[in-house]
Structure 1
């Protein structure tokens, strides 16, 4: 477990403070980071290897959307890879039931170990492609951080959303071309700029819902 001398602790604490999150979250978040670093040496789960960069680009980038999932009960993280943003969000919101959807075997093995090691009773691993997950309408929201375009995410994961569910897509620059290409039956709800502590690049959260769902 991380100690008070963890080299990345101060960077993470500053970021948590900027995001208005409980500093006590630093302990489980750093435990997850340490586990990811250990597994990454053998399994190459992420191309980002510098621990300071991991804090910003993995932890804080994921947590930038934490305030936007606070009222949710169920979330599916599609193509979660090593658990981003799903695991940081599950740590931050114990009441949120998070399904970590990942088809890559070695990443799924890491996810199961992370869930077990961190004691995340509110997270489960679905080792499958998103389109193969047979839980139609089971989630209030789906998210994807690095998975394809908005239309592609909806094509593979739209069936998982409840009637009034939303896609919460994490994007860099505002994806106007993707928004213009939303398939029939879906509509843009909002585009919100996110601030990631320590990161100069743009980040946006794009909300998409069914065209016939209440606003």
Structure 2
């Protein structure tokens, strides 16, 4: 079964143009195994199928990897560490903060950080509006917010003036973009091809409007 998961992961990584090291594949599979184990007791994700977890969680997270061009990233509403942990595995040079207010999910993140030896991860258990980092981030990413307006509203205090907001969405959110405040503009929209999943996936890059 482990080999089956490895083959599926490697195949789908190649489909999205990623060539990883054998160590990175193994770390991703170790994270996958932890997610399966903890999900049985703590209901970390509604996805139950191990095969679906690879495509809908690991590959979906890694699909944005080529577009992460920041020096410090915070994953807001990270849940079980998505997309932050897969990104951290594949970008050991990038400091990533995982932020979530759910104690069970934060405990899982701490466990994954320890077991996988991810020194580039910081785990913060806190409500987003109460978290005040000492240094602002130049990248804020989330795949969990209901709307772009909510994401900007709740995370703007975390992002530097020149930083970008990376919103992982399904269908292209025309109405949400139209409702963005004048202080925020859409810098780039990227259509993502995520094998093993149905429906559209997009990455939206948002930034503050120049004065």
TM over 0.5, shorter chain: yes
- What is the number of equivalent residue pairs in this alignment? 209
- Contact preservation (8 Å) 1:13, 1:23: no
Q: Given that residues 52 and 196 in structure 2 are in contact (C-alpha distance below 8 angstroms), is that contact kept between their aligned partners in structure 1? A: no
Q: What does residue 17 of structure 1 align with?
A: 14
> 1:51 corresponds to which residue?
50
Query: In structure 2, what is the equivalent of residue 183 of structure 1?
Result: 181
Moved over 6 A (4+): none
Instruction: Say whether residues 1:65 and 2:64 are aligned partners.
Output: yes
- Residue 7 of structure 2 aligns to a residue whose secondary structure is helix
Tell me, yes or no, if the aligned pair for 1:17 and 1:23 is still in contact at 8 Å.
Answer: no
Q: Which runs of 5+ in 1 are unaligned?
A: none
Give the Cα–Cα distance (whole angstroms) in 2 for the partners of residues 171 and 62 of structure 1. 11
State yes or no: 1:97 paired with 2:109. no
Q: Is the contact between residue 150 and residue 169 of structure 1 (CA under 8 Å) also seen in structure 2?
A: yes
Structure 2 distance, partners of 1:106, 1:210, is 34
TM-score (norm 1): 0.93
Using structure 2 for the length normalisation, give the TM-score.
0.95
Partners of 1:121 and 1:136 in 2: how far apart?
19
Kindly indicate whether the alpha-carbon contact (under 8 Å) linking 1:136 and 1:161 is maintained by their aligned counterparts in 2. no
* Contact residue 73 and residue 94 of structure 2 kept, 8 A: yes
Q: Deviations over 1:133-188 (max 9, x none)?
A: 10276111101102221110111101111111000000000001111111231111
- 2:163 pairs with 1:172: no
